[in-house]
Structure 1
Amino acid sequence: MNPAYPFSAVVGLADLKLALVLNAVSSRVGGVLVRGEKGTAKSTIVRALAAQLPRVAVVAGCRFHCDPGAPDPGCPDGPHETTAAGGADAAGALRAASLVELPVGASEDRLVGSLDLERALTEGVKAFEPGLLAAAHRGVLYVDEVNLLHDHLVDLLLDAAALGVCYVERETVSVRHAARFLLVGTMNPEEGELRPQLLDRFGLTVEVRATREPDERAEVVRRRFAFDADPEGFAARWAAEEAVLAARIARARAALGSVRLPDSRLRQITAVCAGFEVDGLRADLVTAHAAVAHAAWQGRDVVTREDVRVAARLALPHRRRRDPFDAPGLDERLLDELLDQTEPAAPDDPDNPESPEDPESPGDPDDSGGSGGSGGSDGSGAGDGAPAAPESAPEGAPDGAPDGAPDGAPKGGAEGAPDGAAGPSEGSGTGTGSGTGSGDRPQDVAAAGAPFRVPVLKVAGVGAGVAGRRSSGRGRHGRTIGARVPTGAGPAGIDLPATLLAAAPHQLRRGRRGPGLVLRRDDLREPVREGREGNLVLFVVDASGSMGARRRMTAVKTAVLSLLLDAYQRRDKIGLVVFRGAGATVALPPTSSVEAGAARLRALPTGGRTPLAEGLATAAEVLRVERLRDPDRRPLLVVVTDGRATSGGDVTRAAAALAGVTSVVVDCESGPVRLGMAQALALRLGARVLPLESLGDLVRDRRKAG
């Protein structure tokens, strides 16, 4: 097997390196969530870290990797005898820290383990098959694309990470085992965000972007070529730096228990968390643990202001979100103000043993690169490589390097655009390109108001799509409404009563000779569950001149933004088609990133003719392609228009292509005299009609109700 790419050889990614190292030093920090665009070496550096973790002693033959010096008293493979800690003997062996990767398509049984029901029923034993959480104990659990993992799996994962214990409950049999690991999740925000509750469960977060510096990018490619050509030789050239890093992590771990957190620094941490108005107290705990870990990493025995600042920069950005459409970020000027306000008055106070300059620090962190970057880079290195020079590798991670972009600045991609504004690329990506023919004079971009609650829109019938919170669906979750013979490679859980009833009539013929039942695979029955599924909500928005009055378009954008928020809360995919001028464009292909949809909507200009038929035809094509990609996800079409069609093809024919699609027409027609064109369109589509002005009145605004 080829060696992993060396951690020290990764170009840039300073903040990410530091966050990973702090978690390697202290498991109490709570893991790392890595947010960034594709191709920024997120996976490479996580795999590289595992190779630098100290080797661990394990009980020989224990499937749960118990420590011989302090075995888990509840280990299913126990009880184990306690032996001398810190080494290997007849009862234990040394092995490398494990790196376990959780695939997006993993099942609950694969994650937490499963029970052998046949042995449990026939022999009366708890025959337990460990899952990935057991394999990751005392190592690293890596979840790529964690935002695409199903919510209930993320809940199980984070509960185990927080408690250090995995609980498995299956058909009246209960098993628990230790599950302490370094949790690392990576995600591309363009593919959808995590819920704020789940974001909060990650200790630290780092935003990474590829450097725009040509020389650094060239070094990334150069090192990757060298590694691919000769992995062993490349790893050997970085072996000295890797050994220094591993030794420093081991020293910091050993010193962690002796690091003191003065009460003045603890009050400073809590004041900073309160100043940023973060919810709950997890931020205070994580920041304190991270500050202690950073002090140990720097060789200090007392936490200083710089340790607090570094910890806050990594622990607070993802806890600052006040709206699901907000991008994580931290105002570093406010952070420094809060630190200044809470700085102990007397520099010579024994609770404030600050040193003017940390000899191990590479310099003033405010002079270092951007988030995940190094030196003066605006980004974080990228691809598969690392620090600009070998000697700058592990020690070179700037302690407390500021986030690369100021608070509120775009982080790259549509979701980073500030409210009510758009960058140059977004202006061209909103579907206006097809509407620049003669007579098209786009108006100024109208701002959207605060979103409000909207009525629940559902797809009729019962589907079989991914679990969500909108329409009725059958799958692995929900209330049990029956049982059936397993239809897949394995049962989606076991319906115990139905399994027993299927086996009971055959016991005499099978020669049963005891209290247990004689079970066979064809006796197994899986439950049929009915719950909720997520849908594809495709918005078709009229941005033509007939919608161009600023006040009216503001109302339209606010309504659509409210529907987007509803889609976010119900775990839907969303897409956005815009028609105006000479045609229609897909402003946002179907995606789980509702934030991207909100950014494109806010930047949407208006003006020109009204090619309604083209908008419907484009929507039909989007749904056709998406049906091929994800046949189980049912669509919900939301057409926002006044129903006018001043150019383009035949609306009736275009509407016929959408037959069978559950549709809603949001009628934007206003004024004392109404032509009812949107209602006529709804008849062609077989759609429900919702007047624009009624959306905010059907359900009282949550903010006003509070």
Structure 2
Amino acid sequence: MTTYPFSAVLGMEDMRLALLLNAVSPAIGGVLVRGEKGTAKSTAVRALAALLPPVRRVAGCRFGCDPAEPDPACPDGPHPTAATAEIRPARLVELPVGAAEDRVVGSLDLEKALGEGVRAFEPGLLAAAHRGVLYVDEVNLLHDHLVDLLLDAAAMGRSHVEREGVSVSHAARFLLVGTMNPEEGELRPQLLDRFGLTVEVGASRDPEVRVEVVRRRLAADADPAGFAARWADADAEIAGQVAAARRRLAGVRLPDAALRQIAEVCAAFDVDGMRADIVTARTALAHAAWHGRDRVTIDDVRVAARLALPHRSRRDPFDTPGLDEKRLDEALQRAQDAHPDDPDDDGPDDSGPNDSGPNGGGPGGGGPNGGGGPQDHATSEGEPVDHSGSGPAGPSAADGDAGPTDGPSGTDDARSTDDRGGHAQHGGREAPDGGDADPRRGRDGGADAQPVAVPRGGLTARLLTAPGVGDGVPGRRSRARTGRGRTTGARVPNGRVGALHLPATVRAAAPHQASRGRLTGPLRLRPDDVREAVREGREGNLVLFVVDASGSMGARQRMTAVKDAVLALLTDAYQRRDKVAVIAFRGADARTLLPATSSVLAASTRLTELPTGGRTPLAEGLLAAADLLRVERLRDPLRRPLVLVVTDGRATAGTRPLDRAAGAAAVLAATGAPCVVVDCETGPVRLNLARRLATQLHAPHHPLAALTHPPARDAGLPVAA
């Protein structure tokens, strides 16, 4: 299959520059590309594979050891000093979001273990990606247990496997590249911080650019080989420029003035830890090397900060990503004003060769066609597409490849200690916060407690869980049988074996050894002896908010308190990797403001803009909830729902509204979905209508204040009535 040429991708200067700088200096730590659907994110990243220089490895080594510096702990080693070397293309390994853990880190070779009685390790995707690129499409949808594995490998540059009697450690240094659509949910904060750089891409609104994009795509589809051949010289030139920048990198100097600018910028944007400073410095060095300079200038620092800080300066999951350019310039100016006589601080360097990049085009690089390509525009593009009649006219300064990474991906001396949403972590694992005074950080509350969430309103959400044990997708809310967690038993596998339970397998086979004729030697096993482990962890739920937006809720600023409380619950849902949906009822009917989605940012926006007023169609709200649950059960049958009905219990719309509400409550209760009634009634005189609704739904009843009380140790609130 012919890959779409990287140099033919039109626009997206920031993304190409970020990929290019990582190709020059893999120690930067990778790239996260955020953007709307259909913007050629995946196509551009996959096109890198054709630009990666070949890799020398020890002949026959499954873990890609460098002959010059073989890994002394390589499972295929030890390798001799004069080991035979072979050359293979550098790899771009794709990690599917639904991959099994065994496929990612490797596992016990069951065929050899059961057939030959020997322990053998079968490498996974992390071993295949060593010294190459590990690409995760839709990285925000990656299951948490796989995120943990990536965090460990990114932090240490090694993959450690301890399972089924196998203990293996091998090098896993790779350039991590992820793409995501923010509409489908945000990325887990620990993994977000591990990406060195982040860029936002979007489709161009220029009709001429869109025409050229479509023209190129159609040309590539009609004649893939011919189209690739027309752009081969441009791709080769980009690879040569990257190689030259790599050679210059070691000689680039980072003066004290530039270091102070980096520190001033990172402090101005209130980033956590020191990783931001380190990544910004490495990016500035790479940018200077790419432009042929022998020292870092203020322009290099500015570009590096624009790429390295946007995802680290967010203080809340509902904040819009981005960097305030005015604050950036002010911080750089403060650093200059503080040391006006610094000999290294003389502004942009105009003396270095190729100051506008190897092909010209300014600090950010030109378009993919240099200065003479077909209809080149310095804008973001919609879908990488091609032109049947237009060949390359030279690559831009912002086009490049990501070569093999010989240094750990994202490995710094500093480690992130803030999850930005209430999770403290160290080396990719959550840990008790230890009483940090920062109110954004939660506290660990024992075996079942989770760190609490602190939204913009300053309120914290109590943990609500669905009763029982589910089989849903991995998450952090309710108990579930998952591929990770504590082992609770063993069972006969139904289909492919998950995690092998060795003691149970041996116990099942032991009584039959005499009848199978075993006197000595390995245990004689049969397929029906195999038992797999049953593990219990946490799952994500569908949290459905059914919000009363009628006039009674709008009275006496009650709706403001409700919105603050629901924002706290939304923040909690974001941290626990839930899907969310929002239904509001007011006037004469109920509206689904947001269908089930992983984007709590969208839910927050819809809730903030929610108008109030009119009568209270409680029955319509409950029936709309039952209908949404029915549809979602068909779409996502394993994800258990949790319904939060936020109301004062009044029903004033239609004839016999309370009777109709009681009938609607019976319909919602018949779905079997666990519900919680959040009572918003205030004042000295209470009608207790919400409590009656809770009885009809067979649901617990909690006052609004009980859900947002910020306890130091939160054991959660019950959901089962």
Band the TM-score falls in, shorter-chain normalisation: 0.7 to 0.9
- Is 1:237 aligned with 2:230? yes
Residue matched to 2:196: 203
SS of 2:653's partner is: coil
Q: 2:650 aligns with which of 632, 644, 651?
A: 644
1:457 corresponds to which letter in structure 2?
A: L
With over 3 angstroms needed to count, the CA separation of the structure-2 counterparts of 1:379 and 1:502, relative to structure 1, is: farther
SS of 1:640's partner is: strand
Question: Structure 2 CA distance, aligned partners of 1:177 and 1:237?
Answer: 40
Question: Which runs of structure 2 are paired with 1:382-461 in the superposition (5 Å)?
Answer: 382-385=382-385, 390-391=392-393, 393-396=395-398, 450-461=457-468
Residue matched to 2:92: 99
Question: Structure 1 CA distance, aligned partners of 2:200 and 2:333?
Answer: 26
Q: Deviations over 1:597-654 (max 9, x none)?
A: 1111111111222221111111111100111111111111111112222224722222
Q: How far apart are 1:567 and its partner, in Å?
A: 1.5
With over 3 angstroms needed to count, the CA separation of the structure-2 counterparts of 1:494 and 1:175, relative to structure 1, is: same
1:394 corresponds to which letter in structure 2?
A: S
2:6 corresponds to which letter in structure 1?
A: F
Question: Structure 1 CA distance, aligned partners of 2:494 and 2:207?
Answer: 53
Question: Structure 1 CA distance, aligned partners of 2:561 and 2:76?
Answer: 63
Question: Structure 1 CA distance, aligned partners of 2:399 and 2:633?
Answer: 46
Q: How far apart are 1:227 and its partner, in Å?
A: 0.8
> For structure 1, which segment, 224-233 or 662-671, has the greater mean C-alpha deviation from structure 2 after superposition?
662-671
Asked if the contact 1:347/1:354 (under 8 Å) is kept, the reply is: no
With over 3 angstroms needed to count, the CA separation of the structure-2 counterparts of 1:351 and 1:552, relative to structure 1, is: closer
Question: Structure 2 CA distance, aligned partners of 1:51 and 1:551?
Answer: 60
Asked if the contact 2:500/2:533 (under 8 Å) is kept, the reply is: yes
- Is 1:492 aligned with 2:498? yes
Question: Structure 1 CA distance, aligned partners of 2:339 and 2:399?
Answer: 30
Q: 1:667 aligns with which of 662, 666, 679?
A: 679
Residue matched to 1:557: 563
Residue matched to 1:169: 162
Residue matched to 1:657: 667
With over 3 angstroms needed to count, the CA separation of the structure-2 counterparts of 1:638 and 1:392, relative to structure 1, is: farther
SS of 1:644's partner is: coil
1:529 corresponds to which letter in structure 2?
A: R
Residue matched to 2:708: 696
Q: Deviations over 1:678-701 (max 9, x none)?
A: 222222211211222443347479
SS of 2:708's partner is: helix
1:61 corresponds to which letter in structure 2?
A: G
Q: Deviations over 1:125-167 (max 9, x none)?
A: 5411110111111211110111111112112113213322111
1:14 corresponds to which letter in structure 2?
A: E
> For structure 1, which segment, 251-260 or 196-205, has the greater mean C-alpha deviation from structure 2 after superposition?
251-260
1:657 corresponds to which letter in structure 2?
A: V
Q: Deviations over 1:353-405 (max 9, x none)?
A: 95237632456659999xxxx9998962121249999447432569xxxxxxx
SS of 2:701's partner is: strand
Q: 1:621 aligns with which of 612, 619, 627?
A: 627
Residue matched to 1:531: 537
Provide the aligned C-alpha RMSD in A.
2.8
Question: Structure 1 CA distance, aligned partners of 2:181 and 2:105?
Answer: 25
Q: How far apart are 1:220 and its partner, in Å?
A: 1.0
Question: Structure 1 CA distance, aligned partners of 2:44 and 2:583?
Answer: 38
2:692 corresponds to which letter in structure 1?
A: A
5+ residue gaps, structure 1, are: 84-89, 399-447
> For structure 1, which segment, 109-118 or 119-128, has the greater mean C-alpha deviation from structure 2 after superposition?
119-128
Residue matched to 1:8: 7
Q: How far apart are 1:297 and its partner, in Å?
A: 1.4
Asked if the contact 2:616/2:652 (under 8 Å) is kept, the reply is: yes
Question: Structure 2 CA distance, aligned partners of 1:637 and 1:378?
Answer: 47
Residue matched to 1:355: 349
Asked if the contact 2:20/2:399 (under 8 Å) is kept, the reply is: no
SS of 1:318's partner is: coil
1:309 corresponds to which letter in structure 2?
A: R
Question: Structure 1 CA distance, aligned partners of 2:127 and 2:104?
Answer: 9
Question: Structure 1 CA distance, aligned partners of 2:142 and 2:707?
Answer: 32
Percentage of identical aligned residues: 65
What is the TM-score of this pair, normalised by structure 2?
0.83
Asked if the contact 2:366/2:396 (under 8 Å) is kept, the reply is: no
Question: Structure 2 CA distance, aligned partners of 1:698 and 1:130?
Answer: 46
Question: Structure 2 CA distance, aligned partners of 1:232 and 1:570?
Answer: 46
- Is 1:483 aligned with 2:490? yes
1:356 corresponds to which letter in structure 2?
A: D
Q: Deviations over 1:45-72 (max 9, x none)?
A: 0001121111222223222222222222
Q: How far apart are 1:74 and its partner, in Å?
A: 2.0
> For structure 1, which segment, 664-673 or 21-30, has the greater mean C-alpha deviation from structure 2 after superposition?
664-673
Question: Structure 1 CA distance, aligned partners of 2:340 and 2:255?
Answer: 14
Q: How far apart are 1:346 and its partner, in Å?
A: 6.1
Question: Structure 2 CA distance, aligned partners of 1:520 and 1:66?
Answer: 37
Residue matched to 2:689: 677
1:600 corresponds to which letter in structure 2?
A: R
Residue matched to 1:79: 78
Question: Structure 2 CA distance, aligned partners of 1:555 and 1:394?
Answer: 53
- Is 1:471 aligned with 2:478? yes
1:598 corresponds to which letter in structure 2?
A: S
Question: Which runs of structure 2 are paired with 1:23-102 in the superposition (5 Å)?
Answer: 23-83=22-82, 91-102=84-95
